[in-house]
A and B are shown apart, each in its own frame.
Chain A
Amino acid sequence: MYQFLLTSRYLTSRIIPVLAVAAVALCVALVIVVVSVMTGFLDMVRDSGRTLMGDVVISYPVVGIPWYDDLIEEIEALPEAAAAAPLVDTIGVLRMPYPEGAGKEPKMVQIWGVDPGRFAKVTTYADTLMWPTIPEAARYYVARDRLYGPVAKSLDRQQKIAILRASGYEDTTSMSDGQVADLATALTQPEWIDHLRTVVLNSPDVIRKTLREDQLETIQSAVEAEIENDFDLEDNYREDGLTMRRNGQPGMVAGIHVSDANYRDSEGQYKIGRNGHWWLPRFQGALTTIPVDASGGTLEPETEVLPFLNEFSSGVFPVDESRVMLPIEVAQRLMHLDEAEIVDDLDPTKVVGVEPARATMILVRGQPGVEPLALRERVREAYRAFVTRVEEAHPDGPRPPREGINFGLNVLTWEEQNAAFIGPVEKERALMRTLFSIVYVVCAALVLAIFWAIVYEKTRDIGILRSIGASRPGIVWIFMLYGLVVGVVGAFFGLLLGWLVTSNVNGIHDMLAEPPEWLAWGLAVATAIMFFWTVIKLFGGRILPVVLGVMGTLVLGVFTTLIFLLDAQGGLVIWDPAVYYFTEVPNDIDVPEAIITMIGAVIFSLVGAAIPAARAADIDPVRALRYE
């Protein structure tokens, strides 16, 4: 068929069809990128419910629900429920290990006291743990912590003063011993290790005079190990994170953005401040809360100093930025929600009853395939049964909150809790879909315009073909086939482009947020080259290269300026995690939507091609052939 021959030649020997393919590809890529990101965003919103909270949540804030173990038993007996977990949710102030020295930064955090085992069954907590092992950057510091740690810990007051003075710690020269000792208490263990090490390496005399025999021995072997670089770093940070304990002692697991020393580089990798020095699990933090009594009055603040065991990354920015998780008993202690004996008012030695421990939330995960709404109904029933049961078993004890009386009590699905957030996103996506179907019309219009031009240009060819016997349908077929090829090729390039953009969307975004130097300078060099090329062409006597050169120089120049401006302004953050909730832009292609988009592009390319094709068939061959 001559149509194939002509289509392939028309495609490969001209610029115009390349424009048509590019137009279709851009349209397809645009729709794929936008819809994929929107769909991915909605999916992430939905998934994050399960990741973070399970399917249904019972909540009674501040005061909490007593006898919650009975409630969990009741819920876990439901065939629809897979698991349930208690939780104490409150807020507090966390003193971070940074900066160096006195004046550590405090930070407002959300505290989640959980039962790690049960919590991991309801959520995907285990998958969110950030450090399965020590990150490469932090290994050196962790090794040093272990080598010098025992000595640093065993320093007495006099030794601390001597070491601080000898380490060259800036302010100590004009201080009294008492002041230095005060400063010493503010320093973290890793900081002590730093100072101790500095003195060991630089002032051996001071060390020999200051340390005891056993301490000197430990230091000796530490130095030897460090010189041999023989860091034997067995670790169980993951295990610590899962159990929320280290060596049996409770600790904290902080969201990845709680520590402001963590940041993401332009490749999307997490980086730890000061080359690994500020790796949070090296440190401990002090957590302070203000407990509240049953009637809402505040009590004395409580403080717990806990080691950081690990960090977690849920991908939900507000959570990763503010949440700290720890064992539920610690949180209960911090909020006075733990089990306590009730003593007689007149005789405090006489125990009259037990105040049960409380949980402010119960997270429930449904069995696979169970609708959250159905699960919610069953959980409500279980809750009522639990209230009856508790009231019978403990007629004098505290009563659990009841529906219709305690309005703070809620049993809601995760989606209901976040309806105000999810609803608008869904509407936005529907709106985007509608708006972007206009892109198809644009696509068809572009193909139409470009094909119109091609048909105009090919008028004589059409006359020739008719003169050698080509029929009018035959001519129509040339351009329909041409449109089909343009549509299909464009759709595939669009898919490729859309896929490239979508799967690298985070890198592109980070690049915009922090334009790399090479891009700016590369563009500047390209602009300069373009400029000189234009100047040279100025003497060439032809206008087109000069016009193209001037335009190219302008476009490149504008881009260069923009990048430098962006750099100066600290980058362009479109996907602000604080607004969009997630730290990563969704980067999965929405496959069904992509297929529909591609088919749509092909159909609309054919629609666009049909009109010029019909015109081509109507060309009068005699007129087409008459003149050169």
Chain B
Amino acid sequence: MSESSPLLEARNLYKTYRMGTVDVPVLRGSSIHMEPGEWVAILGASGSGKSTLLHLLGGLDTPDSGEIRFKGELISSHVRGARNRYRNRDVGFVFQFYHLLPELNVLENTLLPGLVGAGIRGDRKRARELLEAFGLDHRLTHRPRELSGGERQRVAIARALLNGPEILLADEPTGNLDAETGQEILDLLKREHEAGLGIMMVTHDRSIAALADRTVVLQQGQVVPDESPVSH
């Protein structure tokens, strides 16, 4: 692995969904890359394939063709066990709808990647620290349904960060929140970014994308640099 190679790099991704007999091509040769600690925003119209791209980058799905490399290693052709480990350690997902397990409390939800990964007990100390840093220390034994949307999303981010990944894959993390709460989440991401976390964030919103170091647009199945004027 050379010094200059990007942290995460996808080349020429193709992905086609099949609806009955009709093929729906979503990605048609998309390429994207991010450097360590970089914040990349992905813009695009609804249905343009942003989520699909993010799932491929996170190893949750496989492309029809093309390759994805993490630190120079080929993710897209990884054996299954290695891809599970990649999802568990190297990346963390955050979704628009939080996606917490309703039966587990806040601490257990946060701890889950630790339990899945290796530990019988998981790293409780780190989970507590994260939740404390996110202002949730008084909510540890609450169930997700007892929390507000903003609180739920903070738990989801804590969960994504538990195993100390280098990349956070966030799919419209504020899409379901009001402006004020969304801003809190973005502030939180900004703090983590400043501490060195790489973020790949999908969004509809140009003003949110403006927080990123770099913005790309997904259109016609291809990733292109954002050409519209940026307001800083």
A: which residues have CB within 8 A of B? Answer: 1-2, 5-6, 9-10, 13-14, 460-461, 463-472, 474, 621-622, 625-628
Bound Cα distance from A467 to B58, whole angstroms: 8
Please tell me if B97 contacts chain A, counting CB pairs below 8 Å: yes
User: B113 at interface (Cβ–Cβ under 8 A)?
Assistant: yes
A454 to chain B, nearest CB (A): 12
Complex: A626 Cα to B101 Cα, angstroms: 15
Contacting B60 at CB < 8 Å: which of A1, A621, A627?
Answer: A621
- A470: contacting residue among B84, B89, B103, B120, CB under 8 A: B84
- CB distance B115 to A469 under 8 Å? no
Interface contact A461-B60, CB-CB below 8 Å: no
Contact of B87 among A1, A14, A469 (CB under 8 A): A469
Q: Which of B48-97 contact A (CB under 8 A)?
A: 51-52, 55, 58, 60-61, 80-81, 84-89, 92-93, 95-97
Q: Which of A5, A469, A627 has the most CB of B within 10 A?
A: A469
Nearest-neighbor residue (CB-CB) of B56 within chain A: A622
Whether A5 and B108, one on each chain, are in contact in the complex, defined by CB atoms closer than 8 angstroms, is yes
| Chain B proximity of A180: nearest CB distance (Å) | 89
Contact A468–B60 (Cβ < 8 Å): no
Contact B80 A472, beta carbon cutoff 8 Å: yes
Interface residue? B133 (CB, 8 A): no
Also in contact, A469 and B85, with CB within 8 A (given A474-B116, A622-B60): yes
What chain B residues lie within 8 Å of A626 (beta carbons)? 51
CA of A1 to CA of B117 in the docked complex: distance in angstroms? Answer: 9
Please indicate the chain A residues that have their CB under 8 angstroms from the CB of B160 in the complex.
468
Encoded as 1 (CB less than 8 Å from any A CB) or 0, chain B from 165 to 207 comes to 0000000000000000000000000000000000000000000
Distance in Å from the Cβ of A473 to the closest Cβ of chain B?
Answer: 10
Q: Assess A468 versus B116: contact at CB under 8 Å? Given A5-B108, A621-B60.
A: yes
Minimum C-beta distance from B124 to chain A (A): 13
**Is A469 in contact with B104, judged by CB distance below 8 angstroms?**
no
Assess the A464–B103 pair: CB atoms within 8 A: no
Number of A-B contacts (CB under 8 A): 71
Instruction: Given A622-B61, A626-B51, verify A467-B103 contact (CB < 8 Å).
Output: no
In the complex with contacts A465-B116, A626-B51, A471-B97 CB distance below 8 A: no
**Complex CA distance for A281 and B84, rounded to whole angstroms:** 85
Q: Is the pair B115, A625 in contact by a Cβ cutoff of 8 Å?
A: no
Contact, CB under 8 Å: B99 / A625: yes
B116 lies within 8 A of A622 (CB): no
Contacts of B58 in A (CB 8 A): 467
Q: How far is the CA of A434 from the CA of B95 in the complex (A)?
A: 54
Report the Cα distance A333→B100, complex, angstroms.
Answer: 93
Q: Is the CB of A468 within 8 A of B104?
A: no
Q: Given the known inter-chain contacts A1-B120, A622-B60, A625-B95, please indicate yes or no for A468 contacting B113, CB distance below 8 A.
A: yes
| A contact face: mostly helix, strand, loop, or mixed | helix
With most chain A CB atoms within 10 A of its CB, the pick from B55, B88, B100, B115 is: B115
User: Is B159 an interface position by the 8 A CB rule?
Assistant: yes
Roughly how many angstroms separate A621 CA and B159 CA in the complex, as a whole number? 18
Contacts A9-B104, A466-B60; A622 near B55 (Cβ below 8 A): yes
Query: CB of B112 within 8 A of chain A?
Result: yes
State which size class the interface on B falls in: 20 to 34
Q: Give every chain A residue within 8 A of B113 (Cβ-Cβ).
A: 468-469
Q: Would you give the shortest CB distance from A577 to chain B, in whole angstroms?
A: 53
CA distance A541 to B58 in the complex (A): 48
How far in angstroms is the closest Cβ of chain B from A343?
Answer: 101
Least Cβ–Cβ distance between A11 and chain B, in angstroms: 10
A464-B115 contact in complex given A471-B81, A472-B80, C-beta closer than 8 Å: no
Interface residue ranges, B against A (CB under 8 Å): 51-52, 55, 58, 60-61, 80-81, 84-89, 92-93, 95-97, 99-104, 108, 112-113, 115-117, 120, 159-160
Question: Which residues of chain B are within 8 angstroms of A467 by Cβ–Cβ distance?
Answer: 58, 60, 87, 93, 99
Contact A460 B103 (CB under 8 A): no
Q: A464-B100, A465-B116, A468-B116 are in contact. List 4 more A-B contacts (CB 8 A).
A: A5-B115, A465-B101, A469-B87, A626-B51
Instruction: Give A307 Cβ to nearest chain B Cβ, in Å.
Output: 75
Shortest distance from the beta carbon of A6 to any chain B beta carbon, whole Å: 8
Distance (whole angstroms) from the CB of B197 to the closest CB of chain A = 17
How close is B137's CB to chain A, nearest CB, in angstroms? 21
A-B contacts, 20 listed (Cβ < 8 Å): A1-B115, A1-B120, A2-B112, A5-B104, A5-B115, A6-B103, A9-B103, A10-B103, A464-B100, A466-B60, A467-B99, A468-B113, A468-B159, A469-B84, A469-B117, A470-B84, A471-B81, A474-B116, A622-B60, A625-B95
A2 to B, closest residue via Cβ = B115
- Taking CB atoms, residues of chain A closer than 8 Å to B116 are 2, 465, 468-470, 474
> Smallest CB-CB separation from B169: which chain A residue?
A467
Q: Which residue of A has the minimal Cβ distance to B143?
A: A13
Assess whether A471 is in contact with B84, with CB atoms less than 8 Å apart.
yes
| B110 to A: closest C-beta gap in Å | 11
- Of residues B51, B81, B89, B101, which shows the largest number of chain A Cβ atoms within 10 Å of its Cβ? B101
Is the beta-carbon distance between A468 and B93 smaller than 8 angstroms?
A: yes
Contacting residues, chain B, for A463 (C-beta < 8 A)? 99
The reply to whether A461 and B84 form a contact with Cβ atoms under 8 Å apart is no
Contacts of B84 in A (CB 8 A): 469-471
Q: How far is the CB of B86 from chain A (nearest CB, A)?
A: 8
Closest 10 CB pairs of A and B: A469-B88, A2-B115, A9-B103, A628-B97, A469-B87, A468-B113, A471-B84, A467-B93, A464-B99, A470-B116
Which residue from chain A places its CB closest to the CB of B109 in the assembled complex? A464
Q: Are A461 and B120 in contact (CB under 8 A)?
A: no
* Nearest CB in chain A: distance from B117 CB, A: 6
Q: How far is the CA of A177 from the CA of B115 in the complex (A)?
A: 103
State A474–B51 Cα separation when bound (angstroms): 25
Residues of A contacting B115 in the complex (Cβ-Cβ under 8 angstroms): 1-2, 5
CA distance A363 to B93 in the complex (A): 86
Chain B residue at minimal CB-CB distance from A13: B103
Docked Cα-Cα span, A216 to B82, in Å, equals 110
* CB of B35, distance to nearest CB on chain A (Å): 24
Give bound CA distance, A621 to B80, whole Å.
Answer: 14
B117 surroundings in chain A (CB, below 8 A): 469
Residues of B contacting A472 in the complex (Cβ-Cβ under 8 angstroms): 80
Minimum CB–CB distance for A459 against chain B, Å: 12
Q: With a CB–CB cut-off of 8 A, which chain B residues contact A471? A: 80-81, 84
Q: A1 CA to B122 CA in the complex, in Å?
A: 9
Q: Taking the nearest CB of chain B, how far is it from the CB of A219, in angstroms?
A: 84
Q: How far apart are the CA atoms of A174 and B23 in the complex, in Å?
A: 115
- Give Cα A515–Cα B88 distance, bound, in whole angstroms: 63
Which A residues touch B99, using CB under 8 A?
A: 460, 463-464, 467, 625
A316 CA to B102 CA, complexed, in Å: 60
Q: How far is the CA of A465 from the CA of B111 in the complex (A)?
A: 12
Residues of chain A with a CB closer than 8 A to B96's CB: 628
Min C-beta distance of A98 to chain B, whole Å: 69
Minimum CB–CB distance from B49 to chain A (whole Å) comes to 12
The distance in angstroms between the C-alpha atoms of A627 and B86, with both chains bound, is 24
How many Å from the CB of B70 to the closest CB on chain A?
A: 14
User: Which residues does chain B contribute within 8 Å of A469, judged by CB atoms?
Assistant: 84-89, 113, 116-117
Chain A residue nearest to B114 (CB atoms) is: A2
For the complex, what is the distance from the CA of A9 to the CA of B84, rounded to whole Å?
24
Q: In this complex, which of B52, B97, B112 has the most chain A Cβ atoms within 10 angstroms of its Cβ? A: B112
- In the complex formed, the residue of B with least CB distance to A10 is B103
Q: Please indicate the chain B residues that have their CB under 8 angstroms from the CB of A465 in the complex.
A: 101, 112, 116
Smallest CB-CB separation from A471: which chain B residue? B84
Chain A nearest CB from B83 CB (Å) reads: 9
Q: How far is the CA of A9 from the CA of B116 in the complex (A)?
A: 16
